Amino acid sequence: MNDLKNMKLDVRTPSAAPAPLIDAHIHVDSYPPEQQELLLASLADSSVEAVIAVSMHLASSRANLRLSERFPGLVRPAFGFHPEQPLPSQAELDLLFDWMDKHVEHMVAVGEVGLPYYNRLEALERGVSFDLAPYIELLERFVRFAGKHNKPIVLHAVYEDADIACDLLERHGVTQAHFHWFKGSAATTERMARNDYYVSFTPDLLYEDEIRSLATRYPSGQVMAETDGPWPFEGPFAEQQTHPRMTAEVIRAYSRLTGQDETAVRQLFYDNTKRFYALSAF
């Protein structure tokens, strides 16, 4: 369905007034232009206070900056380069970093950045070689930028790639790291938790055993909810346009998994996200 007005989720209201929702990772600028306005205008009615709008590249970063200017306080932009795409030229990357330097006061974080696990896996399955080194070099440049400007960094780094990301974060003393939609080994998970890195859960927390297991093991003070919209989901969300209000269902699933009161968990996720992204400073 393309019309966001047709979305219906079974979101029951707890007895106590719930905390607002924050979508900790969404590609707002990737929705069709005619749907962006509708989505953002609908957030107040869905108890969504803010969204962390991550970027794909320079044009995406510029688009998210414009959205944040049109919807101040609601759209909190992060600027970066998504790793699951071919690398641009060095000159184009320099333009991105120069632009980020000029707009650093407007960005809530560096992101989305990381390593191309899925593109690399697909290439290897086809028998095609894949050079990861340039992506690691670019990620290190983003890590250094985050450290220099004291900004959180939003990471696309799963399985063995997460260990490379952890190496870079530790090397440069960057501690404000958000691994979105994370999957990885027990050892990597323990390392991330020990370093006080955050993770966020998408609506697949309702039906993916791997994510459900992670949710029961990761420190509750380091978790957030996200949609990664417009990425579509399955299970109870099949054929629905992804919307930030789905984070309410993520929180409900987490509360049931961990045996905690839903209202308390909703407050926990809200406090965690505001603290990590220093949203009170905006």
pLDDT of residue 11: 43
Rounded to an integer, what distance in angstroms lies between the CA atom of residue 99 and that of residue 270?
30
- The DSSP output letter for 13 is P
Q: Is residue 1 part of a domain?
A: no
Helix (H) or strand (E) holding 215: helix 209-217
Which pTM was predicted? 0.93
Single-letter residue type at 184: G
Judge whether 184 and 217 are in contact, CB under 8 Å: no
**Are 48 and 247 spatial neighbours (Cβ–Cβ below 8 Å)?**
yes
Asked if the model's pLDDT at residue 264 lies above 70, the reply is: yes
**Which one-letter DSSP state was computed for residue 72?**
T
Tell me the pLDDT tens digit for each residue of 76-99: 999 999 999 999 999 999 999 999
pLDDT, tens only, 39-79:
999 999 999 999 999 999 999 999 999 999 999 999 999 99
- Does the pLDDT value for residue 14 go beyond 70? no
Q: Please say if the pLDDT value at position 15 is more than 70.
A: no
In a domain, 11, yes or no: no
Q: Over 80: is that where the pLDDT of 4 sits?
A: no
| Residues 127-181: tens digit of each pLDDT | 999 999 999 999 999 999 999 999 999 999 999 999 999 999 999 999 999 999 9
Question: Mean pLDDT over residues 13-26, rounded?
Answer: 83
Tokens of 256: 């049931």
| pLDDT value of position 280 | 74
**223-225 β-sheet, strand order:** 21-26, 48-53, 75-79, 109-114, 153-156, 177-180, 198-201, 223-225
Establish if 170 belongs to a structural domain. Answer: yes
* CATH code: domain of residue 101: 3.20.20.140
In a domain, 2, yes or no: no
Q: What is the reported pLDDT for 119?
A: 96
User: At 9, is the pLDDT very low, low, confident or very high (cuts 50, 70, 90)?
Assistant: very low
The tens digit of pLDDT for each residue in 237-246 reads: 999 999 999 9
188-195: average pLDDT: 98
Neighbours of 193 (CB within 10 A): 16
- Separation of alpha carbons 205 and 224, rounded Å: 12
Residue 219: domain span: 20-281
Total domains present in the chain? 1
SS3 state at 282 = coil
Does residue 232 lie in a domain region? yes
